Amino acid sequence: MQITAAVLRSRSGPFGLEAVELEEPRAGEVLVRVVATGVCHTDMVMRDQDLPTPQPVVLGHEGAGVVERVGPGVTKVAPGDHVVMTFNSCGTCPSCHDHAPTYCHEFFPRNFMGARADGSSGLSRDGETIHANIFGQSSFATFALCHERNAVKVSKAAPLEILGPLGCGVMTGAGAVMNALKVPAGRSLAVFGAGAVGLSAVLAAKASGAGPIIVVDINPARLALALSLGADHALDGRGEPVVERIQAITGFGVDYSIDTTANLKVMRQAVDVLAPRGTCGLVGASKMGDELALDAVAVMSGGRVVRGVVEGDADPDTFIPELIDLHLAGRFPFEKLIAFYPLEQINEAVADGEAGRVIKPVVRMG
């Protein structure tokens, strides 16, 4: 079928709307009429070829929409169902077997390489291959092919146009708090970076009854937003001695910290602010080969834990509906992070996100 997609044809280049050809769903695939797709920082990493995603390509990995048709063998969803598309995984490796698909042994090829596992792409234009299947979806488009495995059926009570970011950025921050660190009520948390992931962590911490919640960022508007979403303290990472301030607020340091910045100096601070037996979750992706220096004695003698967290340790089939239920109960107002753009303005959406003017741009397909 003919669809409209935002095609990327050069490194760091603009997205251009093109009429392209999308295949019918193969076995295990789901054709989704995309309603809206969030813009995630990882799209920019792929755009800039800091990951080896081939071009031309259709990015977009926070899509939400309506099932149009399903391929042979699909039983999980049916035409008319509302779905959020999330990251893809193989379903057979030890991590997938343990319901830990965010650590799928094939995470990289299944999400970043712009092709199905057999090397094919469902997208083309006049015989030219357009790479697709990014995060098992490529949803900067009016229609997308995803997989039964990464399609999450969601309640029709929730507005579809806001749900896409639950498939990646919002799930990443909320899941770091709720699944990975399991921050209990009444325990302290420091969040470094008040972007979409960090602020989703703040919302989840608030919903969990955690406190005090301390947010560190260098953008005054984001710090103000963090306070309005439930943070108890907002610290300017450039203007004040963050580690000392957090020690002063908490006495012994925080029970939990999350780094979303991937800045090595900030990551070090996120470990240095931990109380004895505290746990730091590293959520931001730094460059391959980067080395993080730590105070080895402090980590060892305090029983402190430093761990990586991908996609909020989520099992999306259960966690995304849980987040939607919290949202419908008024306890997880992640829509406050979102600003909408028509697909025709995808380059403006990207620019506003990168400049920090908008927390979570979402493009609507119209």
Residues that bind ligand CXF (CB under 6 A): 40, 42, 168, 285, 310-311
Tell me, residue by residue from 152 to 171, as one string, x for binding to Zn ion by CB under 5 A and - for no binding. ----------------x---
Shortest reach from residue 138's CB to ligand CXF, in Å: 14
Residues that bind Zn ion (rule: CB under 5 A) add up to a total of 3
Does residue 154 contact residue 32 with C-beta atoms inside 8 Å?
no
Strand partners, 128: 125
Q: Which is nearer to ligand CXF, 148 or 311 (CB)?
A: 311
Determine, following the binding rule CB under 5 A, whether residue 261 of this chain makes contact with Zn ion.
no
CA–CA gap between residue 26 and residue 30 (Å, rounded): 8
Q: Which is nearer to ligand CXF, 255 or 334 (CB)?
A: 334
Shortest reach from residue 164's CB to Zn ion, in Å: 10
Does residue 76 contact residue 153 with C-beta atoms inside 8 Å?
yes
Shortest reach from residue 167's CB to ligand CXF, in Å: 9
Determine, following the binding rule CB under 5 A, whether residue 142 of this chain makes contact with Zn ion.
no
Q: Which is nearer to Zn ion, 62 or 255 (CB)?
A: 62
Which residues 6+ apart lie within 8 Å of 78 measured at CB? Answer: 67, 70
Amino acid at 327: H
- Which listed range, 26-34, 41-49, 242-250, 329-337, lies at the site for Zn ion (CB under 5 A)? 41-49
CA–CA gap between residue 114 and residue 112 (Å, rounded): 6
The two three-digit tokens of residue 10, written as one number? 């050069």
Strand partners, 29: 147
Determine, following the binding rule CB under 5 A, whether residue 42 of this chain makes contact with Zn ion.
yes
Which residue has 């309005």 as its token pair? Answer: 228
Determine, following the binding rule CB under 5 A, whether residue 174 of this chain makes contact with Zn ion.
no
Nearest alpha carbon to residue 275 among 309, 307, 308, 251: 251
Shortest reach from residue 61's CB to ligand CXF, in Å: 7
Residues that bind Zn ion (CB under 5 A): 40, 42, 168
